[in-house]
Structure 1
Amino acid sequence: MREYGLFIDGQEVPASHSMKSLNPYNGQPWAIVPDGTEEEVDHAVAAARRAFDTGPWGRMTAQQRGALMRSLADIIKRDAEELARIESTDNGKLYREMLGQWQYLPEYYYYYAGMADKLQGDTVPSDRPNFFIYTRREALGVVGAITPWNSPMLLLTFKLAPGLAAGCTFVVKPSEHTSVSTLEFAKRMTEAGFPDGVFNVVTGMGHVGAALVKHPGVDKIAFTGATETGKVIAAGAARNLTRVSLELGGKSPNIVFEDADLDVAANGVIAGIFGATGQTCMAGSRLLVQESVHDELLERIVGRTREIRLGDPMAAETEMGPVANQPQLDKVQEYLEVALKDGAKVACGGKLDPMLGGLFVQPTVLIDVTNDMRIAREEVFGPILSVIRFKDEADAVRIANDTRFGLAAAVWTQNVHRAHRVAHQLRAGTVWINAYRVVSYATPFGGYKESGIGRENGMDAIREYTETKSVYVELTGQPRDPFTLG
């Protein structure tokens, strides 16, 4: 049994309250983590504030920050296997997927380390001959990062890497279900040489996140999670006019046209919904398929879905692990019941796995779904694929955009004109063509509509962690009429 304290001001701090973290594969507690208090949030924010305002971090050059980030990337690369095992144990996702994430994470820190010393302002042509005007991009300040349980460190890195490059400090509240990898990561931050207070972790239940959101010492909240929670966070942050970036839910359409390579498309559909047990914000949970190839594609998908191997996330042969926690399993079961009442039919799956039990649910394909059903309109965050027919291109675009979400979408076609034409019409932050579930540190990621505010990754992300300051320099040094502007 591993036991952890909070991480505040560069050191592990004993917790006043604690809770158990459960392994979703076997249901057994495997770690004890803190359940933080409002006072402990205060201490963490104060440490981050000191580090930003008066500590050595605030005096570092951009080049020095970049060097620390490269050191951190090297440490992540060294410890990727251990950290992947920890994360897989905590959230039940496949070890090989977690290992792939951890092996890729250093690239984020290398990328933003290189960007740290390229944050520059502009000289502005002045409309007054006696003024020289320029702008500066300055770090926003203290960031409160609230992360989910499905990919804790990948989704924290989306925030942390650009934020560190900009010069911000952090207080992180990970999900109460998956706190261990973030606490382990904090030790690596110290090893890499980051000054005390730059990175702080306060774990716990929802009251910890609420305390962070309302804290007047926090300059920005960066959140990934459910849309309804994001709305609550945005409202709470508004009381102090705290800036927010929100990466929220999705009900993403995976659109297959009749001219698509159906074997390739079937693999993409499977990856888009059953990868990570469907527990990803970008899950392709709505399959829109043209009527003329509906039956043929469905046969391929159902056949492959029935072969998906459920089991121990650590085993190399496992293709899908358990749902991450009991509340999420209950939610998945509830949506299945609602879908059947609304008229959907089960083509395969649809039950808890009778062999494995526990938190395992069979990968499920639902047919005869219409876009007005709840199963097609609300985010399930589980391994349920809703299959919806469409007639033609205009019908596909209409159905795809008929949602309050707009995080991602995919288009499967061999017609290059159609591919781009449809991609341009889809109201989604990311559109894949003949692919699904691909992200990059260099490419902006975020949503339209109720899928969020702001962008993560790429050059867009670092702007989310900076302020623009305009500086006017009077050139003549001569006294001017105090009652005349300029």
Structure 2
Amino acid sequence: MAVNQETLFIGGEWVQPASSNRIQAISAATEEVLGSVPEGSPADIDRAVDAARNALKNSAWATATPEERSAAMHRFADAIEKRAPQIAEAVSSQNGMPIIMSEQLEAGYTVGLLRYYAELAKGMELEETRPSPLGSTTLVRREPVGVVGAIVPWNFPVILSMMKIAPALAAGCAIVLKPSPETVLDSVLIAEAAEEAQLPPGVISWVPGGRELGAYLVSHPGVNKVAFTGSSTAGRIIAQECAKLLRPVSLELGGKSAAILLDDMDLNAFVQAVPSVSMLNSGMACFSCTRILAPASRYNEVVEAIAAGVSSFPQGNPLDRNTVVGPMASSAHRQRVESYIAKGKTEAKLVTGGGRPASLEKGWFVEPTVFADVDNSAVIAQEEIFGPVLSIISYKDEADAIRIANDSIYGLGGTVWSTDSEHAAAVARQMESGTIGVNGYMPDLNAPFGGVKASGLGREMGPEAIFAYQQYKSIYLMG
């Protein structure tokens, strides 16, 4: 039965939207309507920003101690954890993420991330005294940057939201979050958790909508900082607007990451890791290693092993616990992925996949696809496809592998595979990327995550993320 939400969570309560427009949530696997929510409007954003500003001036949040913020965040985590099964199912039903993955990441990892920042908040020092070389003393304070406007995409809607919410709350900010119209049902559940946790009114509001609404939020005069995850194209537009406004912005953008398979790698271990390293969320992950760099001496062996492994991945209903590759998140996105596959067939050798699975009549499915004999200058090797499409590229020696890996406008993720982990780490140090895994890949809660080059600005996660939601004030004590 479809779930239809009639109100928006703004200012700590469920309120009637300013317009009658609605957003339908569609199942990526069945193409059926799952439910609908109100579509936010500029008037709803105005209301949410006003509530956020009021929370920072007049609510208990404005005077909360670090310990009180921590306690509120732990209550929030408890309320999310209670809803974990529903959250995982909502995400998988909407965007096609395999349920095993949504349980681990969208539910479990989200709770862990919120608790991590709750603990950091508890011990946070907001003020320090520094002696001056001139003989006086200065108080250096860390204060909340203010109201945060956050925009998140559809591929990991919950964890990417929490990567902004958690450090912002730890810093004492208030946040207005705009979910993607492709994934809206999960945000209703998170809002219900915020209400149950009794976060002060206005600390978090959710206003779903499309690009125009996002642009309105980015340029809103009541917003003090923007946090965005999405495409590099959209990120550049947001960066330009924030530059004009002299508004701080953090951008977590696209990627075209490389997996360097050194000649001594355990090939079987890599093939087993492909679902998490190269086809996480059916390839709809910004850090996926979709360029596979294989040594010329083992190239044919690598192609055969990867093709065999990929062609064996179970594909189907994302709510089936055996599914490894689900559907694309929307019909339009499947068309985008298929256009890249068509281009790849003119640039390289199609080894496996390349079409739609014949056994799945409904849903926006694309077969897991592998191309061999790919030149790194090819379109499929340079542009972010955001689907289950791998390009296997041959390299001559280690220096050549590093050169190819770095020959990209992106620099977000990457992996190095070797039976000698110290050697692999030495190679990783030479890669132009913000994050790199050795014999695997999983972002660490306690380490900064983000990219270089066209992959973004700033970092999320780790204690460093809190600094992006704070500003410094120096008070000079002259006598």
Coarse TM-score class (shorter-chain normalised): over 0.9
Aligned twin of 1:478: none
Task: Deviation per CA, 1:92-143: give whole Å up to 9, x if none.
Answer: 11111111121232221221111113332433221222x2112011111100
- The answer to whether structure 1 residue 439 and structure 2 residue 443 are counterparts is yes
The 5 Å alignment of 1:402-481 reads 402-436=407-441, 438-475=442-479
Q: What is the Cα deviation at residue 446 of structure 1? A: 0.2
- 1-structure distance, mates of 2:40, 2:309: 44
- Contact 1:133–1:473 under 8 Å retained in 2: yes
- 2-structure distance, mates of 1:417, 1:21: 47
- Contact 1:223–1:247 under 8 Å retained in 2: yes
Aligned twin of 1:169: 174
Aligned twin of 1:281: 286
- For 1:395, the aligned partner's letter is D
- 2-structure distance, mates of 1:277, 1:253: 17
- 2-structure distance, mates of 1:183, 1:389: 47
Q: What is the Cα deviation at residue 417 of structure 1? A: 4.5
- Contact 2:67–2:123 under 8 Å retained in 1: no
- 2-structure distance, mates of 1:9, 1:466: 22
- For 1:125, the aligned partner's letter is P
- Contact 1:266–1:297 under 8 Å retained in 2: no
Task: Deviation per CA, 1:305-363: give whole Å up to 9, x if none.
Answer: 1111111111122111100011111110111111222x211100000112213300000
- 1-structure distance, mates of 2:154, 2:422: 39
Q: What SS does the corresponding residue of 1:72 show, helix, strand or coil? A: helix
Q: What SS does the corresponding residue of 1:442 show, helix, strand or coil? A: coil
Q: What SS does the corresponding residue of 1:159 show, helix, strand or coil? A: helix
- The answer to whether structure 1 residue 218 and structure 2 residue 223 are counterparts is yes
- Contact 1:214–1:239 under 8 Å retained in 2: no
Higher mean Cα deviation, 299-308 or 385-394? 299-308
Aligned twin of 1:14: 16
- The answer to whether structure 1 residue 187 and structure 2 residue 192 are counterparts is yes
- The answer to whether structure 1 residue 109 and structure 2 residue 111 are counterparts is no
Q: What SS does the corresponding residue of 2:245 show, helix, strand or coil? A: coil
The 5 Å alignment of 1:36-47 reads 36-47=40-51
- 2-structure distance, mates of 1:435, 1:389: 20
- For 2:459, the aligned partner's letter is R
Q: What is the Cα deviation at residue 430 of structure 1? A: 0.7
Task: Deviation per CA, 1:232-252: give whole Å up to 9, x if none.
Answer: 111122232111000000000
Q: What SS does the corresponding residue of 1:239 show, helix, strand or coil? A: helix
- Contact 2:56–2:62 under 8 Å retained in 1: yes
- For 1:234, the aligned partner's letter is A
Aligned twin of 1:399: 404
Give the paired residue count: 472
> Gaps (5+ residues) in structure 2?
none
- For 2:250, the aligned partner's letter is S
- For 1:219, the aligned partner's letter is N
Aligned twin of 1:308: 313
Q: What is the Cα deviation at residue 90 of structure 1? A: 1.5
TM-score with structure 1 setting the length: 0.95
Q: What is the Cα deviation at residue 203 of structure 1? A: 0.6
* Aligned partner of 1:124 among 105, 120, 130: 130
- 1-structure distance, mates of 2:266, 2:383: 29
> Gaps (5+ residues) in structure 1?
476-486
Higher mean Cα deviation, 43-52 or 81-90? 81-90
TM-score with structure 2 setting the length: 0.96
- The answer to whether structure 1 residue 79 and structure 2 residue 68 are counterparts is no
Q: What SS does the corresponding residue of 1:458 show, helix, strand or coil? A: coil
- 1-structure distance, mates of 2:448, 2:276: 21
- Contact 1:397–1:426 under 8 Å retained in 2: yes
- 1-structure distance, mates of 2:139, 2:147: 25
Q: What is the Cα deviation at residue 270 of structure 1? A: 4.1
Q: What SS does the corresponding residue of 1:122 show, helix, strand or coil? A: strand
- 2-structure distance, mates of 1:123, 1:278: 49
- The answer to whether structure 1 residue 320 and structure 2 residue 321 are counterparts is no
Q: What SS does the corresponding residue of 1:308 show, helix, strand or coil? A: coil
CA RMSD of aligned residues (A): 1.2
- The answer to whether structure 1 residue 346 and structure 2 residue 350 are counterparts is yes
- The answer to whether structure 1 residue 368 and structure 2 residue 369 are counterparts is no
Higher CA-based Rg: 1
- 2-structure distance, mates of 1:92, 1:266: 22
- Contact 2:303–2:372 under 8 Å retained in 1: no
Q: What is the Cα deviation at residue 83 of structure 1? A: 1.3
- Contact 1:254–1:269 under 8 Å retained in 2: no
- 2-structure distance, mates of 1:239, 1:200: 26
Aligned twin of 2:392: 387
Q: What is the Cα deviation at residue 222 of structure 1? A: 0.6
Aligned twin of 1:262: 267
- The answer to whether structure 1 residue 138 and structure 2 residue 143 are counterparts is yes
Identity of aligned residues (%): 39
- 2-structure distance, mates of 1:154, 1:202: 17
Aligned twin of 1:35: 39
Higher mean Cα deviation, 232-241 or 161-170? 232-241
Task: Deviation per CA, 1:182-205: give whole Å up to 9, x if none.
Answer: 122011101111011001011111
